[in-house]
Amino acid sequence: MTAQTLLFELLIPVAKIIAVILYPMIMVIVMIWLERRVVAWIQGRVGPNRVGFQGILQPTADALKLFFKEDIIQREADAFLFNISPHLVMFSSLLAFCFVPLGESFRIGGYTLNLWVASSPVGLLLVLGLSAVGVFGIIFGGWASNSKYPLMGALRSVVQVLSYEIPIGLTVLTVVFFSRSIDLVEIVNHQQHGKIWFGFMLPVSFIVFWISGIAETNRAPFDLPEAESELVAGYHTEYSGMKFAYFYIAEYTHMVLVSSLVVILFFGGWLPPFPNARFFSFLHWIPGFVWYLIKIMFFLYVYVWIRATLPRYRFDALIKLAWKWFVPLSMANFFVVVALKYLL
Amino acid sequence: MAFKELELNMGPQHPSTHGVLRLKLAVDNEVVLSIEPIIGYLHRGMEKLWENLTYPQIVPLTDRLDYLAAVSNNLAYVLAVEKLMDLEIPKRAQYIRVILAELQRLASHLAAVGFMANDIGAMSVLLYCFQIREGILDIFENYTGGRLTVHGMRIGGVPFDLDEKVTAMIRKTLAGIPEKIRDIEGLLNENRIWKHRTKGIGLISPEDALARGLTGPALRATGVAWDIRKNIPYCSYEDFDFDVPVLKGGDVYDRYIVRMEEMRQSMRIIEQALEKLPPGIFRATVPHSLKIPVGEVFFTIEAPKGELGFYIKSNGTDKPERVKMKSPSFINLQSLELMCKGNLFSDVVGILGSLDIVLGEIDK
């Protein structure tokens, strides 16, 4: 075995696997910091600015603190489910990143380096499926805590995720319909060949998907499963130490995942703006990965912005919004899009 | 998963019970079947304590009742004492008292609106409210030295004269408030989520409200025009021109609007009082060891949270024989069950926030 094959067959895949764990973690750290600073700015506060440059190491310090905290399991809790559920949440959201392409593949010498760990012809389904698996962790965790607030949080979470999976599925169908593929790489490539990004071509799909995505990640204004003013901390009330941190990190990872999906499905993934216009061809000099990062940071910022602005939905309004507005709207959207595609 | 009735304990350690209130709830999934407030976690035996203190010594302790509106508590107590000893208060002192009390009303309503919005999930509003409140606390700090527990009243008048520096500070702070209040209203008033969370929630009819003794903004939101400042003026409130905002809805939204409107009226009163501030002394002469002739008195004022009354019975010594307090938070909490029944669990926190209770005043 030559050194070259060793590099290509072993070291690069291993590096990719490490990267797929590190990348969401770094994004989570940046995201927690960004959220705290941005919310503080919006509210006229300063926010954490002591640990590291402008407080960028604050999330790391918090994680370290949680690492050393006592891990408390209630006497009445179902220890097995209680222990596996944070890992389930964490695992599912990290695994989904294997299928998320972070940039275009480029050639080094004779080797093509793909910026994704696994390319699957059904990548989109896998990512959506894995992000839905995470809710099992929330349900198990809430139920196994054997406590009332977590149970109510878990029950809310079930209904919420069940309701919003449907509009997500229906809106994704329109994108798939145009790109004729459920491979995430293919979807991005199609947006390069096509004249326009899907977000501008299918605005209704984008808006429904984005709002449902916020609901699916249990973020404000849909953060009912962990509404702190009602349910204390919701499903993870009884968790402490690193297990709590896992839920916390998983929530942010999930946000990064949903933002990535929005960017890939609707805003051309790693493509620069106007990928085909000759006048803007200089934009191609900036690596695709940077474009992708800029785009997802925008959507992550919107997450924070929404959280600082809007009050929380009530449970009935949340369900009404899903079943009376989004499900019919996304169905009608699908039929209209299909009809227009064939008529025009 | 089928469970019919779940007993739920909200508090005494809970993020949105405004202190150490414990609510015993019975919920069916999310619908509230019954709710029972359990109080007493902050009981400090204030009323008994007062029996062993001289009349002036009691004033700073009243700060600790409704700690979000310390000056209003001071005012209610000193007015009751003064009525009992039949003391004439200089006009200037009365005006300064009105200015302080209305500043305190502003601060208290800001805290109320902010906490209520935070409970409903609009967390930025809390910080915006506290920014404004901060300016008001700075005024108190410059005037008396205290920020939260101000001790801003003395029997016979006020502790200090209102000098140019504080007056200028009040004017400057007041000039900035309307714009910030508009910001808050811009975030909430027409917000669909906010309206859905507050309109038609925590309904109470004027009859029920009166039967349960509901007072303050919560009563005025049901359509009953009852404001002691207007109906039984005290402390020269009759000199000022202001409106009593009254709304008909009787829900959380109307209570919020009434509070916002009252803040504007408070600013109007303060501006008039500063304008018309009469010259003279700021405190009547009160003997050092204050002995009050035998008698009893009950006096109520319109505190930010509602009708605040003090009953004082004197036995001729320098200490009262009995002081009894009618605290608005305690009375208003009686209506909670009526308001919450049949509503969703999430609404309980909003309704509780709209009642604007302070546990220091409930448990005494």
The residue written with tokens 């109470």 in the block is B204
B197 interaction partners in chain A (CB closer than 8 Å): 311-312, 314
Q: What is the pLDDT of residue B1?
A: 45
> How many domains does chain A contain in total?
1
Grouped pLDDT means (10 residues each) for chain A, 344 residues: 73 82 86 89 86 84 87 82 87 84 74 74 84 83 83 83 86 85 82 76 86 84 72 78 86 88 85 72 75 88 88 85 88 87 81
Spatial contact of A225 and A157, defined as CB atoms under 8 Å apart:
yes
pLDDT for B311 equals 92
Q: Does A132 touch chain B (CB under 8 A)?
A: no
- What pTM was computed for the model? 0.86
Q: Categorize the per-residue pLDDT at B13 as very low, low, confident or very high, splitting at 50, 70 and 90.
A: confident
Q: For residue B156, which phi and psi values (nearest 5 degrees)?
A: 105, -15
d(CA B238, CA A50): 53
Asked if A312 lies within 8 A of B197 by C-beta distance, the reply is yes
Strand order in B295-303's β-sheet? B295-303, B306-314, B320-326
Candidates A219, A229, A306, partner chain B, best to mutate (most B CBs within 10 A): A229
Q: What is the pLDDT of residues B259-294, one digit of tens each?
A: 999 999 999 999 999 888 888 888 888 888 888 888
- Residue B122 with chain A: CB contacts under 8 Å: 309-312
Of A45, A221, A232, the CB nearest to B127: A45
Considering only alpha carbons, which residue of chain A is nearest residue B28? Answer: A152
Q: Are strands A111-113 and B6-10 parallel, antiparallel or unpaired?
A: unpaired
Closest residue by Cα to residue B302 from B234, B208, B211: B234
Q: Which residue range(s) make up the domain with A178?
A: 3-343
| Interface mutation target, options B115, B124, B195, B252, chain A, most CBs of A under 10 Å | B124
CB distance A20 to A117 below 8 Å: yes
- Residue contact B191–A315, C-beta within 8 A: no
Which residue is associated with the tokens 């979807």? Answer: A187
Best of A231, A314, A318 to substitute, by most chain B Cβ atoms within 10 angstroms, is A314
Residue of B nearest to A316 (CA): B344
Q: Is the dihedral of CA A83, A88, A89, A90 positive or negative?
A: positive
B196 contacts A229? CB cut-off 8 A: no
Residue A156 to chain B, least CA–CA distance (Å) = 10
Q: What is the pLDDT of residue A237?
A: 81
Tokens of B234: 């005290």
CB contact under 8 A, A220 and B127: no
What domains are there in chain B, each with its CATH number?
A: 40-363 (1.10.645.10)
* Residue with token string 């229906």: A170
Contact check, Cβ <8 Å, A221/B193: yes
Rounded distance, CA A167 to CA A181, Å?
Answer: 19
Q: Do A230 and B191 touch (CB under 8 A)?
A: no
Closest in A45, A148, A316 to B344, CB measured: A316
| Residue B2, min C-alpha distance to chain A (Å) | 11
Residue A327 touches chain B, beta carbons under 8 Å:
no
Cα separations (Å) of B99 from A19, B75, B237? 63, 12, 11
A315 touches chain B (CB under 8 A): yes
Nearest CB to B30: which of A39, A149, A315? A315
Give residue-wise pLDDT tens across range B31-88.
888 888 888 888 888 888 898 888 888 888 888 888 888 899 999 999 999 888 888 8
Across the interface, of A45, A228, A317, the residue whose CB is closest to B196 is: A317
Which residue of chain A has the CA closest to B26? A148
- From residue B284, alpha-carbon distances to A120, B89, B94, B95 in Å are 87, 6, 11, 14
Considering only the beta carbons, identify the residue of B16, B117, B348 that sits closest to A311: B117
> Which H helix or E strand runs over B321?
strand B320-326
- pLDDT of B3 higher than 60: no
DSSP states along B60-101: HHHTTTSTTSHHHHHHHHHHHHHHHHTPPPPHHHHHHHHHHH
Among B16, B123, B134, B351, most A C-beta atoms within 10 A, so best to mutate, is B123
A221 close contact with B: CB closer than 8 A: yes
- Is the distance from CB of B64 to CB of B46 less than 8 angstroms? yes
Q: Tell me which chain A residues have a C-beta less than 8 angstroms from the C-beta of B30.
A: 152, 315
Q: What value does the mean pLDDT of chain B take?
A: 87
Q: Could you tell me which of B240, B212, B229, B95 has the C-alpha nearest to residue B158?
A: B95
